Structure 1
Amino acid sequence: MRVLVVTAVPAERDAVTSGLNAEGPPQTLRLPGGYVLHRPAAPLVLDVVAAGVGPAAAAAGTATALTAASAADAPYDLVVSAGIAGGLQQPLGGVVVASSIVAADLGAMTPSGFASVGELGFGTVEHAPPKQLVRDVAEATGAAAGPVLTVSTVTGTAERAEELAARHPGAVAEAMEGFGVAEAAAAHGAAVLEVRTVSNSVGPRERAAWRIPEALAALGGGFAALVPVLRAWKP
């Protein structure tokens, strides 16, 4: 079982790897534009890469790692988008797992409101992780399961938060990379998962209320709890 974990920034990568310390020290594998922290302990290989902020950087970094692995005849079975996120009615420090990974602002504004790329007939705006894996992760980590929204512009007003919640009932969080990671994974035939911890509430931008250190600590704890699930999962 080979798993690639993709974060946006090094702080998230380091939080994830703190939860994987029991898996042994990583090796560093160089890639164009970056590197992967590689833990080759069979039967579960766990690699972690910080690909950059936003869906485009996430897709490019994920695709690079996936292509390098395929070229080495060691493709990944699962790609996990991981990091911190804004929560939609979720407690700060809480864990969320995506039942669907949704591109929430990929589309066009029309006189009648937002129309997604899917509604416009230009592609997909949603990827679905394996249902049983989502259930197992939620049980192991205490995560709330629901749609996780990928946006290119972080929500900073109550009006925008209400609009997103109305268009995506049951959404649990907003982040910036999941859909890009999922697009790259789909192109390589790998399953995808998104796991995040809540650092702030989606709505008016109040940096003083954010709890980034607590969310990063929870991310490490979440991945420590996630490892047994990944060991047991069969693609």
Structure 2
Amino acid sequence: MPDPLLVVTAVAAEADAVRAGADPRHLDARQIVVAPVGVGPAAAAAGTARLLATARYRAVVSAGIAGGFAGRAPVGGTVLAARSIAADLGAESPAGFLAIEELGFGTSVLPADPDLLTRLSTALPGAIVGDVLTLATVTGTAATATALAERHPGAVAEAMEGFGVAVAAAGLPFAELRTISNPIGPRDRGSWRLKEALEALSTASAALWKSCG
């Protein structure tokens, strides 16, 4: 039997939604392992690394809900990351934000595994493929949303874990799957559609099992 697929989420509600879309036979046979690893890039990286240190896996998927950029990813939509980007990894300057690449200290961009992304895109033909930003502090103002959209014209969504999971994957095939619960911008919990986003995550996970299970 091949090594299982590891799917990590931030919180238990997302893990439950992912499991709800799974074929129970895959879970029972340990072909797929789903685990919440914590909120934010540091917790996600540490939790994923711990899991990878204790068992063998064939690939890693970061899954969960996210905010969508207006006009790029609608609430209720499904997004696949072409690249996971640590959008706040860098430095401020009088001229604006400097990404870590401009400082000469590494990279803030990690691409999804091409084969895994192709398989997921084929299984989810309605999914939007684009960059997904990883932020330790999620956006809560129109000004920040505009600045991020201008700095990252290929970004379709923002979340808090993808880049951390990608770093921990350390060479294993990696992908990021998100469903959109709210538009990025002024923080308005009343406009969030968490139930719908979690239901969409379950639907997307069913396709994930068919393509990668």
TM-score range, shorter chain: over 0.9
2:212 equivalent to 1:227: no
Amino acid at match of 1:17: R
For 1:205 and 1:128, locate their aligned partners in 2 and report how far apart those are by CA, in whole Å: 29
Deviates more, 1:196-205 or 1:115-124: 115-124
2:160 equivalent to 1:158: no
Match of 2:51 in 1: 65
**Contact 2:119–2:212 under 8 Å retained in 1:** no
For 1:49 and 1:181, locate their aligned partners in 2 and report how far apart those are by CA, in whole Å: 12
TM-score (norm 2): 0.93
Query: SS at the partner of 1:204?
Result: coil
Of 114, 127, 148, 1:143 maps to: 127
Runs ≥4 in structure 1, deviation > 4 angstroms? none
In angstroms, what is the RMSD of aligned CA positions? 1.3
Match of 1:209 in 2: 191
Q: C-alpha displacement at 1:228, in angstroms?
A: 1.7
2:15 equivalent to 1:13: yes
Amino acid at match of 1:182: A
For 1:215 and 1:177, locate their aligned partners in 2 and report how far apart those are by CA, in whole Å: 17
Amino acid at match of 2:63: A
**Contact 2:10–2:40 under 8 Å retained in 1:** yes
- Bigger relative contact order, structure 1 or 2 (CA pairs below 8 A, ≥6 apart): 2
For 1:79 and 1:124, locate their aligned partners in 2 and report how far apart those are by CA, in whole Å: 20
Alignment of 1:98-137 (within 5 A): 98-137=81-120
Of 134, 149, 152, 1:168 maps to: 152
2:68 equivalent to 1:87: yes
Change (3 A) 1:22 1:46: same
Match of 1:194 in 2: 176
For 1:136 and 1:163, locate their aligned partners in 2 and report how far apart those are by CA, in whole Å: 32
For 1:16 and 1:6, locate their aligned partners in 2 and report how far apart those are by CA, in whole Å: 9
Amino acid at match of 2:36: A
Change (3 A) 1:119 1:23: farther
Alignment of 1:24-43 (within 5 A): 26=28, 39-40=29-30
Amino acid at match of 2:11: V
Q: C-alpha displacement at 1:25, in angstroms?
A: 5.2
Q: C-alpha displacement at 1:135, in angstroms?
A: 2.9
Match of 1:77 in 2: 58
Amino acid at match of 2:18: V
TM-score (norm 1): 0.85
Match of 1:23 in 2: 25
Cα offsets for 1:132-179 (capped at 9, x unmatched): 432331232221000000000010111101111111112110000001
For 1:116 and 1:200, locate their aligned partners in 2 and report how far apart those are by CA, in whole Å: 26
Match of 1:53 in 2: 39
Match of 1:33 in 2: none
Q: C-alpha displacement at 1:60, in angstroms?
A: 0.5
For 1:159 and 1:134, locate their aligned partners in 2 and report how far apart those are by CA, in whole Å: 32
Unaligned runs of 5+ in 1: 27-38, 70-74
Identity among equivalent pairs (%) = 54
